[in-house]
Amino acid sequence: MAEKLKPSAETESNRAEQRMPVERQRTSVEVEPLFEAQRELLDSARHEADKESVSARQIKLETEPEPAVKIGKHDKRRAYKQTIGLVQAGLPQASRSFSRFIHQPAIARVSEVAEKTVARPSAVLGAGLTATVGLAVMLFFARRYGFTLSGSEFILLLTVGWTLGLSVDLINQRFRRQV
C-alpha cells in the first residue's frame, strides 16, 4: 500500500516539465541547431587554416630547400637496437631469450644469406611436397609388393624436391627478367 502512495520518478519529472515556463522549454529545444551551426563554423575555419598552412608549406619548400639529413650506419644500428629492445621488452621471458639469441649479428647474417640462397620458399615447398608424395607412393608399393624401405628414402626425396623447387624458382626468375 505504501508503494502506491509514493510518486514514481517518471511522474515527478513530468510534473517538473509542466511547471517549466514555455519559453524555457522552447530554448532547450532550439539549442541543438545553434551548436550545429557553431560546429560547422569551427570546421570551416579549421579547413581554411589547413589550406593556408599547406600553401605556406608549399611556398617554403619551393623557396628554400631543407638540408638533406644523412643517416649513417651508426644511426641505423642504434635505431635497430632500440626497436629490438622495445619489442623484446614486451615478450615473455622464453621468447625474449630466443629473440636475443636469434638477433645476434652473426646468426642474423647467416640467416639472411640462407634465406637468399638455400632456404628459398619454393625450394622448401618443393622439398616438402616431393618428400610427402614420394614417400606415400613408396610406402604404398612397399606394402603392396612386400619389400622394405631402408630409411634413407625420406632424405633422398627431400634433396630431390629441394633441387626441383630451387630449379623452378631460378627458371621463374629468369623468365621474369626477360619480360
Q: Is the pLDDT of residue 155 over 80?
A: yes
Average pLDDT of the residues in 171-176:
87
Quickly list DSSP for 50-69. Answer: HHHHHHHHHHHHHHSPPPPP
CB–CB of 135/149 below 8 Å? Answer: no
Which pLDDT tens digit goes with each residue over 157-166?
A: 999 999 999 9
Residue with more model confidence, 95 or 8 = 95
The contacts of residue 123 (CB under 8 Å, 6+ apart) are 162, 163, 165, 166, 169
What local confidence, expressed as pLDDT, does residue 40 receive?
73
Residue with more model confidence, 20 or 51 = 51
Name which of 31-40, 49-58, 74-83, 166-175 the model is least confident about. Answer: 49-58
- Count of C-beta atoms within a 10 Å radius of residue 120: 19
Pick from 141, 165, 145, 144: which is nearest to 153 by CA?
Answer: 141
Give residue for cell 611436397.
Answer: 129
pTM of the model: 0.44
The contacts of residue 147 (CB under 8 Å, 6+ apart) are 141
What local confidence, expressed as pLDDT, does residue 157 receive?
95
pLDDT-derived band at 119 (thresholds 50, 70, 90) equals: confident
